[in-house]
Amino acid sequence: MSLQQWVDNGWLRPHTTSAEEIANLLSIVDRDLSDAAKGISPDWRFGIAYNAALKLCTILLYSEGYRPERTLQHYRTIQSMPLILGDEHKSDAEYLEACRKKRNIAEYEYVGGITEKDAEELIVFTGGFRNEVLEWMKKHHPQLIKP
């Protein structure tokens, strides 16, 4: 399936981004990665790192000229990653989808469902993913990267 098919299905809508919007999103990613490294509960560290990873997926989607519709917004943003970066990122999207579900439980159902290991793993993943997104941006949308 392609992003255009997602538009045809009503899952995405066109979006024109700017270098300023992308820079703002990257600032959120950097803030969140910094905050997630601090001495707070694993639940919150995980949630903050998840937010950073979601913003990176948002950057990819915005850069390609789309934004998700409101229904299943996080899910669609994450699932767009392999459509943009390639099938080799399917397992990354599956990992982030599992993190989305785990974060929802920690956020809305009960405390303590996230381990230190879970939080550290997501923080490390997101840091590496940030580097991948920036490299992809330099190659495919250099005009959207502020100097």
Q: Write out the H or E segment, with its range, that includes residue 29.
A: helix 19-36
pLDDT tens, position by position, 28-60:
999 999 999 988 999 999 999 999 999 999 999
Q: In Å, how far are 40, 45, 79 from 35, measured between CA atoms?
A: 9, 8, 25
Domain residue ranges of the chain, discontinuous segments joined by +: 18-141
> Residue 83 has which token pair?
């459509």
For residue 7, pLDDT beyond 80: yes
pLDDT tens, position by position, 80-111:
999 999 999 999 999 999 999 998 888 777 88
Question: Is the whole model's pTM more than 0.85, yes or no?
Answer: yes
Q: Which of 30, 49, 59 is nearest to 125 (CA)?
A: 49
| Beta-bridge partner residues of 12 | 68
Residue 143 has, within 13 A of its CA and on its CB side, a CA count of 5
- Mean pLDDT over residues 18-36, rounded? 96
* The one-letter amino acid at 93: A
pLDDT tens, position by position, 59-82:
999 999 999 998 899 999 999 999
The fold of 18-141 is Four Helix Bundle (Hemerythrin (Met), subunit A) (1.20.120)
pLDDT of residue 14: 95
CB-CB neighbours of 47 under 10 Å: 22
Nearest-5° angle of CA 87, CA 102, CA 66? 45
